[in-house]
Amino acid sequence: MVTSENTSVNDASCMASSAFEVPAGKRTNDDIFAVYESTLEEQWIDQIEYVEFSIRYYDNDNWQGLDFEVPNPFKIEFVEPAS
């Protein structure tokens, strides 16, 4: 099981929903997470400039067996294309 945690948008902490299974040795094209529009509105965010988050891996069978977090958060920046 893969989840995203500690999500922030433009430095504002946001609740993000994310959890998906990836069988051993397989790949996925699932969305990493979703941030609800209402959450962005609560944080007064009308344009996403960047998103930071951590990824955590769990054992599907017990959620306890494997608990590994990527040590540094990912940061994705959104830039307007040049006209």
Instruction: Tell me what the mean pLDDT of segment 16-39 comes to.
Output: 76
Phi and psi at 62, nearest 5°, equal: -140, -5
Whole-number percent of the chain with pLDDT over 90: 0
pTM (two decimals) = 0.63
- Tell how many helices (H) and how many strands (E) occur in the chain: 1, 7
